[in-house]
Each structure stands twice: as C-alpha cells, then as structure tokens.
C-alpha cells in the first residue's frame, strides 16, 4: 500500500477550483512531523488524526495543549514531552504509552502510513464520501465515539450556541449559499479556536473570506483540507447545490 | 525636490510591504503564547538606542506580590508596553520600577559608576534574548498553584483565596491610604446575540485588585449603560480586552465570563 490512490475525482467542481489531491482514506489527516528530527538521525514522527480524534476533541490538543494548526510549527521537543507538555500530556505511561527507549518507534516511524493497519477500527462508523470517509459529526451525535471534551477541566461543557449562519454568495451569477452550523463545530472546538483570529465575529466583518483563500489553507481551509471533511465534499456546506 | 521624491518612494514601499505582511496573516490562527510567556511585556523605548538589551517585564512575578492597582494607578504605569516612556533617570529617582527596585525593597539598578562591577542587576531586567541566571523559574515557582486552562495556566483568584499569595495594595512612601469604598453590586451584562450566555460581572473581584480608578471613568463610564462596546472591541484590546487579552485570563476561556445559563 505505498502508492497513494489518485485524487478521488467525483466532484465536477474539482476542475473549477483545482482542488488539492486527496490521499487514500487511511492516510487522510496523517501528518509527518520533522521539526526537530530533521537535524538528527531520528525518523520523523507520524501522527494520525483519526486515531486521536476518536478519543479527544480537537480543542484538547489544538487549544489546551497548544498544538498549532500547521505541521512543524509547534515548538515540540523531547524534553517538553517528558515534562508533560504537548504529546507528553497523555503519553506519560498513565493515559497512553510513555516515552522511553522501547516506545520511540511507535511514533518515530518516518512513515505516513504507519497506522494503515489500524484503519479497520473505524469500520462501524457512519460513512462520508471524501477524506477519511468517516462522518465524524454523525459518529459523535450517535454517541458511537465519546471524545473527551477537555483534559484540564473535568466539568467542561461547550456553550450550546446553535446559530446557523447563511452565507450569501458574492459572485454575480452564482446562487448557491453556504450554511455554517455553529453547534457541529462547538462540539469539537472552543469558540476561540476560530474567533477572533480566523473569523471576525462581526457580520460580514471577515475580510477576504473567499473560496480561493479557503482552498489555500485559510479560513475553513485551516481544518477542512487536511483533517475535517475536505472541501471536495461541496454539498455539506453548500447544501442547496444541485 | 529630489530628496522629497525619494522619501515619498520609500514611504510607499514601506507601507506597501506593511500591507503585504498584514495581508498574509488573515484567515489563520495566531500563535498562542506559552504559559511562561503570557503577560510578558517587552519595553524598548530607549534600550536598544543605548545598546542595551530591551527589558522583559514579567507580570506573573509581580502579580504574585502586588495588586494591579499598585503599579497601574499609584505608580502610574500605562496599560500598553512602552506607554510609560520610562528613562533610567526615572528609576534612579524612585519613579516607576525604581519605586521598589531601589536596592532596599527589591534589587536596585546599579548606578553608572558601579555599572562595571555590578552589571548583573541590569541583566535581570534588560534580559531580552538572554538566559539570565538567578531569576525565579516559572515552572518551579508556580508548580503548586491551582490550574487554569489558558494564560499562565494559573488560577490567580483561587491562589489568593487559598492563601498561596498575599497581594500588597500599598507601596510605602507612595500610596496614600484612604478609606475603602464599599464594592458596588455584581451585575449581569446581557448578551446581544441569541443563544450566547449572559455575562456575570463581579465588581468585588475586580475592585479588590484594581480599585475603582483603574477602569473608571476612562475605560468604562461611571454610569451603567453609557459606554457602548461589543465583543469585537474587546478582541481588539479595548474595554475588558485592555487586561483580558494580555495579562488577566485571556478571552479564549469564554465561559469564565459568559456563564449565565440560557433558558
């Protein structure tokens, strides 16, 4: 399984927007972290989002543990992990396997497909069309998974903010709208994961909020290109698209 | 004339590059400061111009000993880094940092004559990009403090309740003790967005460490409702954001303010 399948063509909009190619489902959301291994003999670290998101919501790592949203930008070091920061918050031999000479190779694989063999673990979860082909929102709603809301606060509950935004197109001749449901996002994320850095909170206050920027990793693209369902799945936001 | 044109061209180039730099940052997440960095302020009004490292002021060391009011009211520190325009002479005249850092209440700045032999003390504040020995270690000092989710990861309120810290509200020779004004009542601030929990604002918690004068009347008018502001203003560092973006618990933790149940 070394050759990645070609981008699953299926959306007629692929051509219009020249969407980034998708890896095979088991590799979607897998990242190789080489920030400090580059200068050493250690193989880079393979991190699989789908392994972790079954057990923890996005906010746990991407807020409470201060992991950045771009590979290799988080200031992870072995010393910090051993002190209980970043991966070490769980990989401490109590919650998950700890860091020692025997376990190095669990993460330092240098292989983006290191978790391929575990992918069948997800076989009972509801399906989606793109990305890792798992409908995580439905999985959470149906309580097939119970990811932890917070590891720093025992009684953490997200604000039940259920406003659905209706985003009108700004191109002439285009009629499709986008619908943004807050509730599906706050189940995984803190408000401040997105506000105010990525999205302003004023109506139409976010400048440059356009599809071409999303495609290049900004706005929704911070998550919806690499981990959350990819933007090939047009209709999940543009629900009125025919 | 030629010079004017050159200046104009340079100005256009500088502003264009500023726009470009700013335009590259939109739509992405900013770096969140690490716990030991949160509330640290770099003061560089005169340092680099005088070939000395800029000052790194650490709020966490100071707020473990003093109320906010002592420095930001009695000593007259501005609310923005560099806003106080502090000069070395000010400190030697016992103003600003020099009110305590006088060699008696806290380590003092060395005078010019002593500079060569006592250069160490300069380094303790003029410390940007230096590994300064002898400073308190953040992790060591705060390891038994109650935890919070963000900022310094310390629940400073709880730390005070538990008696881990005792905050001084007076500096001898500078503060003038007056009879305290009883704290006004706590109140709710209605959220303007349906589904957002209302805010419960505690005057007591704020007045105990800020007095009245840190907020009123400049940031907030004295009468309820006269100051209009919204969350976007706060995100931009105004109103509550004057403290709650930089030093007090950051606005990442929505439910610390938006805590009234919605029915």
E strand intervals along chain B: 40-43, 55-58, 187-189, 198-201, 258-260
Q: Across residues B139-162, what is the average pLDDT?
A: 94
Q: pLDDT, tens digit, for every residue of A129-146? A: 999 999 999 999 999 999
Domains B33-176 and B178-263 share a fold: yes
Q: Domain B178-263 in CATH: superfamily?
A: Cytochrome C3 (3.90.10.10)
> What residues does B200 pair with on adjacent strands?
B188
Whole-number percent of chain B with pLDDT over 70: 86
Burial tier of A51 (Cβ tally within 10 Å: 0-12, 13-18, 19+): middle
Whole-number percent of chain A with pLDDT over 90: 75
Q: Which of A159, A165, A200, A204 to mutate to test the interface with B (most CBs of B within 10 A)?
A: A159
Query: Is A153's pLDDT higher than 90?
Result: no
**How high is the pLDDT of residue B41?**
96
With beta carbons under 8 A apart, name residues in chain A contacting B194.
163
Asked if B235 and A193 come within 8 Å (Cβ–Cβ), the reply is no
Q: Computed from CA positions of residues B251, B254, B259, B263, in that sequence, does the dihedral angle turn out positive or negative?
A: positive
Its CATH architecture, for the domain B33-176, is Alpha-Beta Complex (3.90)
Asked if A69 and B31 come within 8 Å (Cβ–Cβ), the reply is no
Could you give the 3-state DSSP secondary structure of residue B4?
A: helix
Q: Across residues A92-99, what is the average pLDDT?
A: 96
Query: Is B111's pLDDT higher than 70?
Result: no
Output the average pLDDT for chain B.
87
- Residue range A158-242 forms a domain whose CATH class is alpha beta
Q: Across residues B11-23, what is the average pLDDT?
A: 51
Q: Computed from CA positions of residues A18, A19, A22, A25, in that sequence, does the dihedral angle turn out positive or negative?
A: negative
Q: How far is it, in rounded angstroms, from Cα A239 to Cα A166?
A: 11
Q: pLDDT, tens digit, for every residue of A185-235? A: 999 999 999 999 999 998 788 889 999 899 999 999 999 999 999 999 999
Q: pLDDT, tens digit, for every residue of A118-128? A: 999 999 999 99
Taking CA A165 as the corner, what is the angle to CA A163 and CA A170, rounded to the nearest 5 degrees?
A: 170
**How high is the pLDDT of residue B13?**
55
Is A85:A151 a contact under the CB 8 Å cutoff? no
DSSP B182-211: PPPPPEEE--SSTTSPEEEE-HHHHHHHHT
CATH number of the structural domain A25-122: 3.90.10.10
With beta carbons under 8 A apart, name residues in chain A contacting B148.
152
**How high is the pLDDT of residue A8?**
43
CB pairs under 8 A between A and B: 73
DSSP A69-111: SSTT-S---HHHHHTT-GGGGTBTTTSB---STTTHHHH----
Is A131:A25 a contact under the CB 8 Å cutoff? yes
Query: Tokens at residue A30, please?
Result: 């897998």
The domain locations on chain B are 33-176, 178-263
Is residue A11 very low, low, confident or very high in pLDDT (cuts 50, 70, 90)?
A: low
What interface predicted TM-score (ipTM) does this complex get? Answer: 0.84
Using a CB–CB cut-off of 8 Å, the residues of B that contact A are 23, 26-32, 34, 139, 147-150, 193-197, 230-232, 235, 251-255, 258, 262
Where in chain A are all domains bearing CATH 3.90.10.10?
25-122, 158-242
Which of the two residues, B2 and A166, has the higher pLDDT score?
Answer: A166
Q: How many CB atoms lie within 10 A of CB A76?
A: 20
**How high is the pLDDT of residue A4?**
40
Phi first, then psi: give them for residue B170, nearest 5 degrees.
-135, 145
With beta carbons under 8 A apart, name residues in chain B contacting A160.
195, 262
Highest mean pLDDT among A37-41, A64-68, B130-134: A64-68
Whole-number percent of chain A with pLDDT over 70: 93
Query: Is A75's pLDDT higher than 70?
Result: yes
Query: Is B262's pLDDT higher than 60?
Result: no
Query: Is B140's pLDDT higher than 60?
Result: yes
With beta carbons under 8 A apart, name residues in chain A contacting B27.
198, 206, 208-209, 213, 218-219, 221-222
């Amino acid at each position: 399984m070394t050759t990645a399948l070609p981008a699953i063509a299926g959306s007629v909009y692929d051509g219009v927007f020249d969407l980034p190619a998708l890896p095979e489902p088991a590799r979607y959301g897998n990242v190789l972290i080489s920030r400090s291994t580059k200068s050493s003999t250690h193989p880079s670290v393979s991190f699989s989002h789908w392994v972790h998101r079954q057990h923890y919501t996005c906010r746990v790592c991407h807020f409470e543990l201060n992991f950045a949203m771009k590979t290799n930008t988080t200031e992870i070091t072995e010393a910090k992990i051993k002190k209980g920061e970043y991966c070490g918050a769980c990989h401490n031999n109590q919650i998950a396997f700890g860091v020692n000479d025997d376990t190095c190779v669990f993460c330092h694989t240098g292989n983006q497909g290191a978790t391929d063999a575990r992918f069948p673990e997800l076989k009972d979860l509801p399906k989606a069309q793109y990305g890792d082909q798992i409908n995580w929102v439905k999985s959470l709603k149906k309580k097939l998974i119970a990811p932890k809301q917070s590891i720093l606060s025992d009684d953490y509950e997200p604000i039940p903010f259920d406003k659905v935004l209706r985003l009108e197109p700004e191109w002439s001749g285009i009629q499709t709208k986008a619908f943004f449901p807050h509730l599906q996002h706050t189940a995984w994320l803190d408000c401040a994961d997105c506000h105010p850095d990525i999205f302003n909170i004023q109506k139409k206050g976010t400048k440059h909020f356009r599809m071409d920027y999303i495609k290049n990793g900004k706005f929704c693209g911070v998550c919806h290109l690499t981990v959350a369902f990819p933007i090939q799945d047009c209709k999940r936001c543009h629900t009125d698209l025919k | 004339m030629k010079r004017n044109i050159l200046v104009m061209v340079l100005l256009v180039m500088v502003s264009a590059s500023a726009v470009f730099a700013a335009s590259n940052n939109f739509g992405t997440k900013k770096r969140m400061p690490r716990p030991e960095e949160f509330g640290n302020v770099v003061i560089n009004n005169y340092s680099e111009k005088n070939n000395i490292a800029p000052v790194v002021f650490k709020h966490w060391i100071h707020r473990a000993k003093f109320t906010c009011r002592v420095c930001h009211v009695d000593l007259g520190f501005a609310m923005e880094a560099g806003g106080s325009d502090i000069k070395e002479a000010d400190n030697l005249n016992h103003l600003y940092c020099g009110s305590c850092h006088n060699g008696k209440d806290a380590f003092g700045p060395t005078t010019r004559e002593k500079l060569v032999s006592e250069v160490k003390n300069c380094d303790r504040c003029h410390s940007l990009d230096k590994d300064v020995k002898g400073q308190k270690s953040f992790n060591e000092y705060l390891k038994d403090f109650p935890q919070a989710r963000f900022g310094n990861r310390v629940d400073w309120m709880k730390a005070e309740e538990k008696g881990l810290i005792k905050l001084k509200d007076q500096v001898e020779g500078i503060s003038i003790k007056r009879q305290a004004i009883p704290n006004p009542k706590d109140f709710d601030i209605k959220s303007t967005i349906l589904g957002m929990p209302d805010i419960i604002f505690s005057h007591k918690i704020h007045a105990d460490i800020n007095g009245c004068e840190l907020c009123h009347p400049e940031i907030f008018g004295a009468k309820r409702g006269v100051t209009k502001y919204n969350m976007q203003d706060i995100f931009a560092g105004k109103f509550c954001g004057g403290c709650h973006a930089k030093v007090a618990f950051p606005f990442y933790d929505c439910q610390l303010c938006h805590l009234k149940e919605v029915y």
